[in-house]
Chain A
Amino acid sequence: GQQLNQSPQSMFIQEGEDVSMNCTSSSIFNTWLWYKQDPGEGPVLLIALYKAGELTSNGRLTAQFGITRKDSFLNISASIPSDVGIYFCAGQLGIQGAQKLVFGQGTRLTINP
């Protein structure tokens, strides 16, 4: 089945630093999404990317859909304490009405104040 390789698995940074994480796959996806999950909660959508090469920002977050459609990255600029959590990439497959998500293993972000 499809697998997503997400890296790094964990990051320990100082408040104010920029963060970068990425996701690669051997399969082609038609949509890439990035989620954040806080303890005890479900994942919350941060950014969705629908076209190869697309670069999208959401506040301090920027994500790109790779040209090959097999990879994506997420950058967080000027990190703040509330950025702490687990970030997941997800690739979407399937036709409308039957689409499903495949998730990466997650990147755990820890911020030292």
Chain B
Amino acid sequence: EAGVAQSPRYKIIEKRQSVAFWCNPISGHATLYWYQQILGQGPKLLIQFQNNGVVDDSQLPKDRFSAERLKGVDSTLKIQPAKLEDSAVYLCASSPWDNYGYTFGSGTRLTVV
């Protein structure tokens, strides 16, 4: 089966600019996650969707970050405006409803200068 697709792979922007990341999960996976991984740290959950509904967004900085999964399939994560501390790898993952198996995408590496 195809894996979790993410784009772009790399993005460099200036602070205060906007950026968007896209994720296409494994077909049929109901749950989609966005994680932020700062260099030298483990991934940290930003937001979790079950189909097109938000399950957990408690760690999403909502003043600048937003995410949507309108049709319950692919998802976009947006940062507006970006700050220097947003430089990180943004990982998308998906899992089936009845299985604990997560599959991660390769991530988008964001550099804010």
Contacts and interface: CB of A to CB of B under 8 A. Distances in A.
Contacts of A82: none
B107 A45 contact: no
Interface residues on B, range: 20 to 34
Nearest to A31: B100
Nearest to A48: B100
B100 A41 contact: no
Interface of A: 1, 4, 6, 31, 33, 40-45, 48, 50, 88, 90, 92, 96-106
Contacts, number: 65
A45 B43 CA distance: 14
25 contacts: A1-B59, A4-B42, A6-B42, A41-B106, A42-B91, A42-B93, A42-B107, A43-B43, A43-B104, A45-B101, A48-B100, A50-B100, A88-B42, A92-B100, A96-B97, A97-B30, A98-B48, A100-B55, A101-B45, A102-B45, A103-B42, A103-B44, A105-B42, A106-B40, A106-B41
A31 B86 CA distance: 30
Contacts of A41: 106-107
B33 interface: yes
Interface in B68-111: 91, 93, 95, 97-98, 100-107, 109
B31 interface: yes
A103 B91 CA distance: 13
Q: Which of A42, A88, A98, A102 gathers the greatest number of chain B CB atoms within 10 Å?
A: A42
B50 A106 contact: no
A103 B43 contact: yes
Interface in B46-64: 48, 50, 55-56, 59
A42 B105 contact: yes
A100 B50 contact: no
